[in-house]
Structure 1
C-alpha cells in the first residue's frame, strides 16, 4: 500500500525520505489492492518489524498443510453422508469450499509477499480475499439455523425439508461474488474501511446475539435435569464451538479496525493487519478440524469413515 498522504517511505524507519513519483514504493497489505508499481516487495517493506509478518506466514503454512486436506475431508464426508446430514451441513459444505479456494492460493500469496513486486497477482489475490471474507456470513447462517432449531422448533420442523437453505446459500454466494469483484477492481474509495468493517460488525453482532440466545435457552431447558437431551446437547456443543471461533478469530479484527487512525501507518500495515488477518485466516484450519472431531468418526482399517447420524 502506498501512503501518498504521509510523503514518507515506510520500508526504512531509520532513513525517512520523501516519496517521489519517479521512485514509488510498493507496499501492499494482505487485504488491500491499493498499490502502485515499485521495487520493494511486501516483505522488504516490513523487514524492520517482521514479527507479525512471520506470524502470518506461519499460520498460512498451517492452512496449507492442515487446513486444505481437512476441508477436503469435510467436503467428502458431507457429500458422502447426504442422507444423514444435519440441516446445517449445507452451510458447512460451502464454508469448506470457501476455505479450499483460499488455501490453494496460499503459495501464490507467499510468493507475491516475499519475492514479487508486480501488481498483477494482487488482483487475483484480492478476489480470493473477498471470497474468504464471506466466511462469517456462512457462520451466521449456521447460527441462524441453530437459533431456529432451539428457540422455534415447531416452525423449524415445518421448514426442515424445504429448499430455503439452498436459496439462502445462493444469496450468500451472489453477495460474496459481488463483494469480491468490487474488492478486486479496487475503485471504491475506502472500500475495506467502510464496507468490510460494516459487514463484519453486523455479522459479528448477529452471531453473538444468536449464540447467547441459544445458550440461554438451552441452559433454561436443562435446569433441574441430570442430563441434557442428546439433540440439545449436540446443539449446545456446536454453539459453543461457533462462539469460540467468533471470539478467537474475528473479535480482534472487529475490535481494532475502528482504531486504524490511532496507529502509525507502518505499525498498522506491518503489525496490526498481519496479526488480525492471521488470526482470522487460521479459521480455515480450525473450523474443519472441529467439524471432523464433533461427530466421533469411527474408522475401519483407515479406509472408511462413518459418522454417526445427526439431528
Structure 2
C-alpha cells in the first residue's frame, strides 16, 4: 500500500511539474497578445484583481489536473492527456506569438514623426525577444511530446511491473504459460528426446 501511494504521489508531482510551466507561459503569451494586438481590451483588464483571479483559476486547474487523473485514470491515459495539453499550449503560444510578431512588423500610427528611430529600436528588441522565446518554447514542447512522454510511459510500465508482489512475479516466471510458446515447445522437445 505505501508503494502505491508513493507512486501516485510521484505521478501527481510530475504532472504538476510538467503542466505548470506551459500554463504560466501561455498566460504570459496571452497577456502579450492582448497588450499588442488588442490594447484597449488589455487596458480594461489591467487592474490587479483580474490578474489575481486569473492566477487563482490557473492554480485551481493545475491542482485539479494533478489530483483527479492521478486517482481516476491509468498511466497511459494520463500521458495522453499530458501530450494533448502540451500540444494545446504549444498551439496557443504559437498563435499568440505569431500574431504579436505580425503586428510588430507593421508600421505604427505615428511612425512618421521624430521618435521613429527609437520606436523601431524598441520594436526590433521586442521582436527579437519574442522570436527567441518562441523558438526555445517550441523546442521544449516538442522535446516533451516526442522524447519525454515515451520515456515516462516506459518508466511507468517498469514501475508498475516492479511494484507487483514478489510471489505473483515468481509464479508468472515459473509457470509454463510465462515462457514463450516457441521456447516451451523447444524445451519439451529436448526433454522428450533424452
Q: If the TM-score is normalised by the length of the shorter chain, which range does it land in?
A: 0.5 to 0.7
* 1:1-311 equivalences in 2 (<5 Å): 118-132=3-17, 133-185=19-71, 187-189=72-74, 190-221=76-107, 226-228=117-119, 232=123, 235-255=126-146, 269=154
Alpha-carbon contact 2:23-2:58 (below 8 Å) kept = yes
Alpha-carbon contact 2:29-2:97 (below 8 Å) kept = yes
TM (norm. structure 1) is 0.41
The equivalent of 1:61 in structure 2 is none
CA deviation after TM superposition for structure 1 residue 153, in Å: 1.4
Post-superposition Cα deviations, 1:85-144, rounded to whole Å, max 9, x if no partner, equal xxxxxxxxxxxxxxxxxxxxxxxxxxxxxxxxx444333222211211221011000000
CA distance in 1, matches of 2:122, 2:63: 35
Post-superposition Cα deviations, 1:165-198, rounded to whole Å, max 9, x if no partner, equal 211111111110011112432x313322332222
> Where do 4+ consecutive residues of structure 1 move more than 6 Å?
none
**Number of paired residues?**
148
The equivalent of 1:276 in structure 2 is none
User: Can you give the 5+ residue segments of structure 1 that lack an aligned partner in the other structure?
Assistant: 1-36, 38-117, 261-265, 271-311
TM (norm. structure 2) is 0.62
CA distance in 2, matches of 1:221, 1:163: 33
CA deviation after TM superposition for structure 1 residue 239, in Å: 2.0
Quote the RMSD (CA, aligned, Å). 3.3
Alpha-carbon contact 2:26-2:93 (below 8 Å) kept = yes
CA distance in 2, matches of 1:141, 1:234: 21
SS where residue 221 of structure 1 aligns? coil
Alpha-carbon contact 1:134-1:176 (below 8 Å) kept = yes
CA deviation after TM superposition for structure 1 residue 232, in Å: 4.2
